[in-house]
Amino acid sequence: MSDHHKETFITKYIFAQDHKMIAKQFLITGMFMALVGMLMSAIFRVQLANPGEYSALYNLLPGGWINEEGALNPDKYLALVTMHGTILVFWVLTAGLSGTFANFLIPLQIGARDMASGFINMLSYWFFFMATVVLLSSIYVEGGPASGGWTIYPPLSALPQAIPGSGTGMTLWLLSITLFIVGSLLGSLNYIVTILNLRTKGMSMKRLPLTCWALFVTAILGVLSFPVLLSCGLLLLFDRSFGTSFYLSDIIMNGEALHFAGGSPILFEHLFWFLGHPEVYIILLPALGIVSEVIAVNSRKPIFGYKAMVGAILLIAFLSFIVWGHHMFMTGMNPFLGSVFTFTTLLIAIPSAVKVFNWLATLWRANIRFTPAMLFAIGTVSAFITGGLTGLILGDSALDINVHDTYFVVGHFHIVMGLSAIYGMFAGVYHWFPKMYGKMMNKTLGYIHFWTTFICAYGVFFPMHFLGLAGLPRRYYTNSSFPMFDGLSDINEIITFFALSGAIVQIIFIFNFVYSIFKGTKASTNPWKSNTLEWTTPIERIHGNWPGELPVVQRWAYDYSKPGMEEDYVPQTVPLKEGEEDH
């Protein structure tokens, strides 16, 4: 393919075109943004536990965000909640998760030298970087950053008079998300084309590791859904900056009747959630793909039901396009439409359940090696069970009436995204760190990190279901305005305690990560004794991945503990023995 060019510092580390370096760029940026988003949540959790009181953490905020008594301003509470959601959904769980692992794993697992276009790949990171700069700068502008929730419904997000963050901050949010989407699309193009064209000899789609399948389908989801957010945002931009009435009508603001007529905020919601729902599967599927891999390797058993797993990924992806209305049950939509969305939403439970059962069957009669990655993979399965089940309540339109936009929803989506997907990301980092950096991460610190995070995370998000069933709405600055919520302060304090503790224990991970890059013990080529192709490359990462010829694939990726074989793993490059059955 492209022949090796001489690498300078700039072409190797800055405008890198090697997929492995780009992956690390995404990882580091994603981790940095995770810290920013986590810090924001620590701050607003403190407000929720001690409403209206001063906290030392507020010193981190720009001036003007707290009042004379030192309490956080209510509209800036909403700014924090908005930015937290935006950063975690897009920057960390989309770019940080897909960007890292798709870039790193796809060429390696399919036996390719690099992505189809290193140049486009490089662009995809730098658009992401620019988006990051723009978003972070919006924190410091007058009026503050966008404050209408990460879902930015107009008219709130369209009118600066409605909330200060809807001024410059919101404009920058739109600019930032445009850059982000372009970067994400450029990445997806590469992932799809590379998997379709650059698989090495013998790597049929049926032998593709599940991680690749998940990343492939995720990329397709992205290509089909992100552009709609772009069109949605474009119309919002026109309403905000040019005074059109796509989403706005019949509004009085600050005593003045505004000129907008004929528009509908519900149109925004439809367009937004048309991306919004596939987006959560763009977040989830790669994590589930990683988990399938980590579980198989560390169980020393094939993943149970490979075909069904692929089928489940495809079915989930397909269904994800026809469920968006379940975010809009309470908008006054035609009840029949609501019924349709309930039906399709509850259907998605079926492939999701199949995946859980397949993982359980993989663990059954396994010989489990508890690497930190494996701990997180099992954590993902637990969180997916917990969070997925509450989805059955929320997806049922009649039940949604009383839990929509309450803490019940907040609990649900944090458990499926904040636990499931993040654990999947951790599992991926721990598992592929030796390949990324040639060193091993410290396993004891990994164990401590998992168990403390596991405890704290469930401590934060499980209680939220009760807050929701008690009727407490989300995005509330405090629960102290309504006597009916007075008793809930105790629960809020418990949640904040676990949230702050959980935030602090992440130091263990950051430390382990950074320390191991420099001082970790040197890794062997295949420390986990895994079958997939990435472990056949030399530990000193080279441009072009394999020093000689590309590997040739002879079997599927899951021959672990296969009867009749010498070792409990058989790499994909090993030819079938005489009389051996192919899968």
Partner 1 sequence: MINLLFALVALLTIAALVQLVRVNELLSEITNQDTNEVTDDDNHKNGILFLLIGGGFIAFVIWQMVAWDHFLLPSASSVHGAEIDALMKISMILILIMFFALTPLLFYFAYRYRGKEGRTAYFFAHNNKLEVAWTVIPTIVLTALIIYGLRTWDSVMNPDISDATVIEVYSKQFDWTARYSGLDNILGESDYKLVEGRNTLGVDVLDENSADDMVVKEVHLPVNKPVLLKFRSRDVIHSAFLPHFRVQMNCVPGLSTQFAFTPTKTTTQMKEEESDDFEYVLLCNKICGSAHFNMQMKFIVESEEDYNKWISSQKTLKNTLTLK
Partner 2 sequence: MALTVENNAKKQLLWIGMAAIVMFFAGLTSAYIVRKPEGNWVEFSLPNYFIASTAIIVISSLLLFFVKGRLKENSSIFGLVFSVLILGVLFSFFQFKGWEQLVNQGIYLTGEGSNASGSFLYVLTLAHLVHLFGGLIALIYVTVKSRIEMYTIDNCLGLELTSIYWHFLAILWILLFFLLKFF
Residues that bind partner 2 (CB under 8 A): 1, 116-117, 120, 185, 188-190, 192-194, 196-198, 223-228, 230-232, 234-235, 238, 242-246, 259, 261-264, 267, 270-271, 274
50 interacts with, out of partner 1, partner 2, none, CB within 5 to 8 A per kind: none
442 interacts with, out of partner 2, partner 1, none, CB within 5 to 8 A per kind: partner 1
Cβ 386 to partner 1 shortest distance, Å: 7
Q: Which of 291, 381, 456, 495 binds partner 1 (CB under 8 A)?
A: 381
Q: Which of 178, 194, 179, 174 is nearest to 121 (CA)?
A: 194
In the bound state with partner 2, the residue whose beta carbon lies nearer, of 240 and 465, is: 240
Q: Which of 130, 34, 19, 46 is nearest to 83 (CA)?
A: 34
What 3 state SS string does 225-275 have? HHHHHHHHHHHHHHHHHHCCCCCCCCCEECCEECCCCCCCHHHHHHHHHHH
Q: What angle do CA 300, 579, 301 make, to 5 degrees?
A: 10
Q: What angle do CA 418, 422, 428 make, to 5 degrees?
A: 170
H helices of 404-488, where? 407-413, 422-437, 443-461, 463-469
DSSP three-state, residue 55: coil
* Assigned token pair, 336: 């029949």
Binding flag, residue 574, partner 1 (CB under 8 A): no
HSE value, Cβ hemisphere, 13 Å, CA-based, for 219? 25
Q: Which of 15, 238, 466, 546 binds partner 1 (CB under 8 A)?
A: 466
Q: Which positions from 488 to 527 touch partner 1 by CB under 8 A, shown as an x/- string?
A: x--x---------------xx--xx--x---x-x-----x
Q: Tell me how far apart the alpha carbons of residues 303 and 292 are, in angstroms, rounded to a whole number.
A: 7
368 interacts with, out of partner 1, partner 2, none, CB within 5 to 8 A per kind: partner 1
Q: Tell me how far apart the alpha carbons of residues 32 and 42 are, in angstroms, rounded to a whole number.
A: 15
Residues 6+ apart with CB under 8 A from 555: 207, 570, 572, 574, 575, 576, 582, 583
Task: Give the CA distances from residue 85 to residues 162, 167, 170, 314, 503, in Å, rounded to whole numbers and listed in that order.
Answer: 20, 19, 14, 27, 16
418, 462 Cβ separation under 8 angstroms: no
DSSP three-state, residue 326: helix
Q: Tell me how far apart the alpha carbons of residues 146 and 520 are, in angstroms, rounded to a whole number.
A: 41
Cβ 375 to partner 1 shortest distance, Å: 7
205 interacts with, out of partner 1, partner 2, none, CB within 5 to 8 A per kind: none
218 interacts with, out of partner 1, partner 2, none, CB within 5 to 8 A per kind: none
Report the first-to-last Cα separation within the chain, whole angstroms. Answer: 31
Q: Tell me how far apart the alpha carbons of residues 381 and 287 are, in angstroms, rounded to a whole number.
A: 10
Q: Which of 11, 50, 73, 501 binds partner 1 (CB under 8 A)?
A: 73
In the bound state with partner 2, the residue whose beta carbon lies nearer, of 242 and 518, is: 242
In the bound state with partner 1, the residue whose beta carbon lies nearer, of 13 and 482, is: 482
Binding flag, residue 339, partner 1 (CB under 8 A): yes
281 interacts with, out of partner 1, partner 2, none, CB within 5 to 8 A per kind: none
Stretch that binds partner 1, among 136-144, 196-204, 216-224, 345-353 (CB under 8 A): 345-353
In the bound state with partner 1, the residue whose beta carbon lies nearer, of 263 and 278, is: 263
36 interacts with, out of partner 2, partner 1, none, CB within 5 to 8 A per kind: none
Query: DSSP secondary-structure letter at 439?
Result: B
529 interacts with, out of partner 2, partner 1, none, CB within 5 to 8 A per kind: none
Cβ 271 to partner 2 shortest distance, Å: 6
* Assigned token pair, 318: 């397909």
Cβ 244 to partner 2 shortest distance, Å: 4
Taking residue 410's Cβ as centre, other Cβ atoms within 10 Å add up to: 20
Stretch that binds partner 1, among 193-201, 285-293, 466-474, 572-580 (CB under 8 A): 466-474
Q: Which amino acid is at 339?
A: S
Cβ 167 to partner 1 shortest distance, Å: 13
- Rule CB under 8 A: which of 400-439 touch partner 1? 401-402, 404-406
In the bound state with partner 1, the residue whose beta carbon lies nearer, of 223 and 361, is: 361
In the bound state with partner 2, the residue whose beta carbon lies nearer, of 265 and 471, is: 265
Q: Which of 193, 445, 517, 550 binds partner 1 (CB under 8 A)?
A: 445
Cβ 513 to partner 2 shortest distance, Å: 33
Q: Which positions from 145 to 164 touch partner 1 by CB under 8 A, shown as an x/- string?
A: ---xx---xxxx--x--xx-
Q: Which of 30, 144, 302, 502 binds partner 1 (CB under 8 A)?
A: 302
Q: Which of 473, 497, 541, 574 binds partner 1 (CB under 8 A)?
A: 473
544 interacts with, out of partner 1, partner 2, none, CB within 5 to 8 A per kind: none
Q: Which of 12, 270, 300, 543 binds partner 1 (CB under 8 A)?
A: 300
- Rule CB under 8 A: which of 209-268 touch partner 1? 248-253, 257, 262-266
Q: Tell me how far apart the alpha carbons of residues 228 and 321 are, in angstroms, rounded to a whole number.
A: 12
554 interacts with, out of partner 1, partner 2, none, CB within 5 to 8 A per kind: none
Cβ 245 to partner 1 shortest distance, Å: 9
In this structure, the chain runs to a length of 583
H helices of 470-555, where? 489-519
HSE value, Cβ hemisphere, 13 Å, CA-based, for 103? 33
